[in-house]
Structure formats: structure tokens, C-alpha cells
Amino acid sequence: MTKQHKLPELLAPAGSPEALRAAIEGGADAVYFGGSAFNARMRAQNFSGEAMAENIDLCHRYGLKAYVTLNTLCTDRELPAFLASAAEALNAGADALIVADLGAATAIHQHFPRAELHASTQACGHSISAARELSKLGFTRMVLAREVDAENMRRFVAECGLETEVFIHGALCVSHSGQCLFSSLVGGRSGNRGECAQPCRLPDARGKYPLSLKDLSLARHIPALMDMGVCSLKIEGRLKSPEYVRDVTRIFRTLLDEGRGATDGEMRRLAAIFSRGGFTDGYFTKKIDHDMMGVRSEQNKAESSTGAPFTGISRRIPLDMRFTMQAGAPISLSVTAGGKTATILGDMPETARTAPMDRAAVERCLTKLGGTPYRLQSLDTSLDAGLMVPVSRLNALRRAALDALLPEKCAVTAPTTLTLQAEGARATAPTARFQRPEQITLAAMRYFEHLYLPLDRYTPAADGVVLPPVILDDEVEGVRQQLQKAAAADAKHALVGNLGHLALAREAGLVPHGDFRLNVTNTAALQTLLSLGFADVLLSPELTLPQLRDIHGATDAIVYGRVPLMVLEKCVGTEVGSCKACAEDKNQLVDRRGEKFPILRLPPHRSLILNSRPTVMSDKKEELQRAGLVGGHFLFTLESPREVDAVISAYQKGTPLAGAVRRI
């Protein structure tokens, strides 16, 4: 292993004040936690107000950094409250804000330019080009997608230009983070809004668990991560107990300090703390197969050990003091802890009338450290004879000196009003994407302004391509060649669903249109994307009609089709069917209620799970118009050419479509 001059930061979860203290006890370098709103773990206890400031102060006394998560999407009407939450965190002393919503991040950077921004894994960053685009928006760190393998990770760290944060342990979402709408569109609880109901952990109609992954652990790969130069190693678990946080953090602290991978015994200890049939490193090692699947069995629960109950922080910070009291000068106290020194001047001493203050009296006052994280290591006093100061003033001097060891806090004020107006008008003509060229009928050519096909299936029957939702760095050159080929075949437009793919589309000379995967839920996000070069943007399928209406600018939304619910690096088709059926897009997931979710194959071997019910608004023309949706985007996946024509006819006539449907 290459010699490292600086260890990666060990970043631990803190879903409660007790868990935060457990992270300190375990040896974390930093913690991350949410406030009372806008964080992706709303079921955690979280922090707000004075409690947030007090706990951030505690972190800083122990030398830890504190990152506050504001990593959910917000609507236009929520953006002022979002900025108020950001201001609260910054005023409390947060070292950085972890953000997913591009509009909210832009607003934070505009109103609080000194705030450090970390791009959440919910921001879908999986490539060097994504990091470069995020850097333009003020981000200094990106949480890399958990699906990125070691080879691509090494390249990313070397070339991305941002600090890299990597998950090393904890629960794995089976879908690419930020690309899961399953809980939202099927269950009404949005994962992008911090309320995921975890449908991936439920059994299917067969009683099997085709979407449940084992927990991630890269404990054996610590030397490789250190050698890459990864900035921060992150433990997942804001819903876990303080004991979990303490014990997992402690094991990784040892591995980092000793610069080695975990032994078999340490892996067993991690499994005894919590596991779902063991751990997986499948994404990191590119061994993406059935062995990644796992559930929390009764045997796992029986074998788990919570360890010793967490009762508080046992370690104390060594503190050195130097006190001076001399005639004609104010009293002085210098304190040193954790490599920091602070000096505070107090009152002028008085000539004692009866009982001058001696060394013992001074030491009794200055060594009252109960309730603080410090332990006195040394005390040096220099006293002139015959002087005194009130004991209350000595106590105040001690408190002021200890507080002076803390970093200065921001003093920011959230704006009370926001002006949000994106340029451009809403789309007025319908557009559509198709899964296969044969779905593009004569009626479709006449009805739709733009027609899109998947990049790997492009033919001149369409005038645009749909870029893959995930393009890892070692896949970029292949996609670039496909784009050049499509452009030579007369493609003019591209649906781009990831910030990191924008440059590819523009390089090929295609007009970039933002896909729904960009998760735009507010005008500020739309403004941001338009400023980067998108011609227009499809809004998030999670928005209601009134929320769609609130957004101003060059926008559209899906008004027909089976909305993709998950993008999976792991092929789920082979878990529910066969490889042959997977290649032919004939696999499906059947849940406990009998709902059937089609599965499509994405190149090179990813999976796309579609909603069991298509979104249909053919008989809701007036409602769409009131929301500003005159055009509308159509998403054709499994439909036959005849069914495509039937859908177009229904929208032209304003008549309903048969079968179970979903409404916006």
C-alpha cells in the first residue's frame, strides 16, 4: 500500500444525541445527522434548535466535524423553510450541509456563499463529469454512488476535482439512490422525501425476496480505499442504536489506524452487531450476482449481540491551563486542548482587605470540569501576593476560556421572500419515448413533436435518443461512440437524466432535454438546469398537479406511461425469471397483492422496474391545462403498435383508457 500522509475521515451516523455520543466514543472523525425537516431519515430522532447547537459544540470539543443532512427534495412552497433549516444548521456551527436538491443547493450557495456543500448520494453522482457539474454549483464534496466498482472509484478520486466520500458499511438500497420511486408512486411515501417504506425488503408473491440485498461492508478493502486517496469513509445507520454506532465505528477506527483490512474475526464481530445473512462487497469487486441477496433472518437476530449498553462518553480530552494574576493587569487564563489554545482576559484583581486568594482557592475554581468533556492534565498558576477576585469571576473566566476553544459560528439569516422565475414557456406539443422502433406508428409520427428511442436501439424513425440512466466512467467511451453514430443517422435531440451526462449530449451536437430522472420539484432546480444548458426539463413524477402548476419555466411532465420505479445495477430479472426472459424484457416482479411490475433490461446488464399501473390522464384534459400541461410526455414501454395508436386516440378524444391506472 502506498504510504498515506493523511488518513481518510471516518464518518459515522448520528440519528439521535445518544448515537452521536456513541460515535465520539467509537473514534469517529466526523458525524452526520438530520434536522427536524428535509432529511432522508425522517424516522430518526434527529436534531433541532438548541439541541443541534449543543451537540455540534460537543463534536467540536472532541475534534469531530458535524455535517447536517438536508438531502430531500423540496417544492417551491417549501424552499423558504428549507433555507431556514439551512440557516439554523449553519448558525448552530455545522461544518457542511449534505444536499441532494440542485435547486436548494443553488439557493444555499447564493444566500450563504460560505456554506460548504456536500452532494448527497441522492444526487445520483456516479461519474467524473457529474462531479465537475456539481463543482460549478458550489459543491466541494460528492458522495459517490454505492454501485461504483474499485477500478472506476480509483479513477474518479484521481480525476473528479472534488473530495470523495464513499459508503463502507451498512444497508444497501437495491436501486441507485435518488432513482427509486417505488415507495412513492406505489405506497405514497417518498424515499426522495425521507419517508421510504422499504418495499424492497418485502417478500414477493412466491414468498421470496428478490430485491433485498445484504448489507454492504468494505472492511476488508480499507488498504485499497486508503491507497486511492478517498477523503471520507462513511458508515450508514442513522436508524441504528447507539451500541451499533459505537461498535461498528470502533472496528473501522482500528482498521484505519492500523492501515489494514478486517480479519475473519472482525467480520464475524461486525455480523454479530447486525447483518442480513452476511455482507456483500459485490459492487466494489464487480461480483454482482445472487450472493448479494440477503434478508434479516430470525437466526441473524438470535446471533446478534448488542454488546455492552452505551452509557455515555468515557474518554476525556486532556486540558492544560495557565492562570496569571498580577497587580495592575487583568487576570488571564490560557487553555490548550486538542492542539488548540485560547487565552481569555478577565477583571482587574483587587487588593485583598482580609483574605487574599491563594493557589488552592484558584485551583478549586479552575478545576471544576464536571459536565465538560475535559480532564485536567496540567495547571500552572502565577499569583502575586495580596490580591483577590470574586470566585464568580474566576468561574466565568473558566467557562469563557473553554468556549473560546470552539470555532467561531456563522451568523446568517434566511431570506423571508424568494423570487423564482425560470425563463422559457412550458411545452405546448406532446413528446414521446418508445422502447422499440416498431412502436413508432404513423399516428405517433403525426401526433408527437419529438420521438425518442433508447440510445442502443436508435433508428431514424425517431429524432432523439434517451441516454442510459447510469453511465459509469469506463462506459463513457462506448456511449460517446453510440451518440456519434446516432447523430450521423440524423438524431437531433437527447433526453438526459443525469447531470453527468449533459456534456456527452452536447459534445455529440444534440439538444439536451432534461429527463424526469433529474428529480426537479421546484423552480430553482429548473433555473439551475436551464443555466447549465438544458433546453427544457421533464418534472418529477412525484409532483401533484398543483405542485406542477407552481413551477415556472420550460417544463413538461409525464402524462402517460408506466413510470420506472427503480434503476438497479443488480439484474433482478434473473431473481424472478430467466436470463432469456430478461434479454427479451419478459420478466416481471409480482408482489404479495398480485400486482405485476414489468422488468426491462438496460445495457450492459442493469434492470429497470416499471410501475404495475400506467399513469393515464387522457380524460383529464382540463385538469392538465389548469396545471399548465398543454403538451405532455408519453412513455411507451410494453405497448404494441395498436395499443400506441389507441392511447393517442384516447388523448385526442379526451376519453378514458380501460384497466387499472395511476393518476397524477
Which residues span the domain enclosing 541? Answer: 431-563+611-653
Name the 3-class secondary structure at 191: helix
Residue 269 is part of a domain; what is its CATH number? 3.20.20.70
pLDDT for 229 = 97
> Is 258 within the bounds of a domain?
yes
Mean pLDDT score, 197-205: 95
> Is 204 within the bounds of a domain?
no
pLDDT bracket for residue 44 (50, 70, 90): low
C-alpha cell at 232: 471520507
Q: CB neighbours (10 Å) of residue 588?
A: 18
Torsion of CA 487, 123, 152, 467, to 10 degrees: -20
Q: Are residues 130 and 230 in the same domain?
A: yes
Residue 1 has pLDDT above 50, yes or no: no
Q: What are the distances in angstroms from CA 535 to CA 269, 424, 505, 515?
A: 53, 9, 12, 11
> Is 228 within the bounds of a domain?
yes
- Note whether 61 and 399 are within 8 A (CB): no
pLDDT bracket for residue 42 (50, 70, 90): low
Give the separation between CA 216 and CA 197, rounded to whole angstroms: 20
Give pLDDT tens digits for 578-598: 888 888 889 999 999 999 999
pLDDT bracket for residue 2 (50, 70, 90): very low
Q: Are residues 295 and 373 in the same domain?
A: no
Q: Are residues 323 and 294 in the same domain?
A: no
Name the 3-class secondary structure at 276: coil
438496460: which residue's cell?
A: 602
Q: What are the distances in angstroms from CA 635 to CA 355, 465, 497, 558?
A: 88, 13, 14, 7
Name 379's bridge partners.
321
Mean pLDDT score, 628-650: 96
Please give the DSSP secondary-structure letter assigned to residue 92. Answer: T
Q: Are residues 436 and 287 in the same domain?
A: no
Residue 4 has pLDDT above 50, yes or no: no
410501475: which residue's cell?
A: 611
Name the 3-class secondary structure at 565: strand
Q: What contacts 271, CB < 8 A, 6 or more positions away?
A: 278, 279, 303
Q: 615-633 in b/e burial notation, b at 16+ Cβ within 10 A?
A: bbbbebbeebeebbbebbb
C-alpha cell at 305: 449481540
- Amino acid letter for position 385: A
Q: Are residues 337 and 294 in the same domain?
A: no
> Is 115 within the bounds of a domain?
yes
C-alpha cell at 81: 423553510
Give the separation between CA 614 and CA 656, rounded to whole angstroms: 12
Name the 3-class secondary structure at 257: helix
Q: Are residues 58 and 130 in the same domain?
A: yes
- Dihedrals φ, ψ of 134, to 5°? -65, -35
pLDDT bracket for residue 177 (50, 70, 90): very high
Give the separation between CA 49 and CA 382, rounded to whole angstroms: 41
Q: What contacts 593, CB < 8 A, 6 or more positions away?
A: none
Mean pLDDT score, 529-557: 95
> Is 4 within the bounds of a domain?
no
Please give the DSSP secondary-structure letter assigned to residue 468. Answer: -
pLDDT for 37 = 81
Q: Are residues 240 and 346 in the same domain?
A: no
Indicate the number of domains in the chain.
3
- Note whether 111 and 414 are within 8 A (CB): yes
Average pLDDT, the chain: 94
Of 360, 388, 404, the last residue of a domain is 404
Give the separation between CA 646 and CA 649, rounded to whole angstroms: 5
Q: What contacts 581, CB < 8 A, 6 or more positions away?
A: 573, 587
* pLDDT above 90 coverage of the chain, percent: 87
Give pLDDT tens digits for 398-430: 999 999 999 998 899 988 878 777 887 778 899
Residue 556 is part of a domain; what is its CATH number? 3.20.20.380
3-state SS string for 394-446: HHHHHHHHHHHCCCCCCCCCCCCCCCCCCCCCCCCCCEEEECCHHHCCHHHHH
> Is 664 within the bounds of a domain?
no
Give pLDDT tens digits for 351-368: 988 888 999 999 999 999
Residue 644 has pLDDT above 70, yes or no: yes
Mean pLDDT score, 243-251: 97
- Note whether 119 and 177 are within 8 A (CB): no
- Note whether 59 and 65 are within 8 A (CB): yes
pLDDT for 38 = 87
Q: Are residues 321 and 399 in the same domain?
A: yes
- Note whether 215 and 170 are within 8 A (CB): yes
Mean pLDDT score, 384-392: 93
Q: Give the up-direction half-sphere exposure of residue 311: CA atoms within 13 A in the CB hemisphere.
A: 3
Note the pTM of the prediction, 2 decimals: 0.95
Of 139, 100, 107, which Cα lies nearest the Cα of 122? 100
Give pLDDT tens digits for 602-637: 999 899 999 999 999 999 999 999 999 989 999 999
Give pLDDT tens digits for 551-581: 989 899 999 999 999 999 999 988 998 888 8
- Note whether 500 and 476 are within 8 A (CB): no
Give the separation between CA 41 and CA 19, rounded to whole angstroms: 14
Give the separation between CA 543 and CA 557, rounded to whole angstroms: 9
Q: Is the dihedral of CA 143, 144, 150, 154 positive or negative?
A: negative
pLDDT for 444 = 98
Pairing of strands 279-280, 317-325: unpaired
Q: Are residues 400 and 268 in the same domain?
A: no
Q: Are residues 439 and 510 in the same domain?
A: yes
Give the separation between CA 459 and CA 482, rounded to whole angstroms: 12
pLDDT for 421 = 79
Largest separation between any pair of C-alpha atoms in the chain: 106
Give the separation between CA 300 and CA 298, rounded to whole angstroms: 5
> Is 588 within the bounds of a domain?
no
Question: Rounded to the nearest 10 degrees, what angle do helices 264-273 and 242-258 cross at?
Answer: 160
pLDDT for 425 = 74
Q: Are residues 393 and 448 in the same domain?
A: no
- Note whether 113 and 530 are within 8 A (CB): no
pLDDT for 447 = 98
C-alpha cell at 555: 417544463
pLDDT for 524 = 95
3-state SS string for 497-529: CCHHHHHHHHHCCCEEEECHHHCCCCHHHHHHH
Residue 309 has pLDDT above 50, yes or no: yes
Q: Are residues 264 and 148 in the same domain?
A: yes
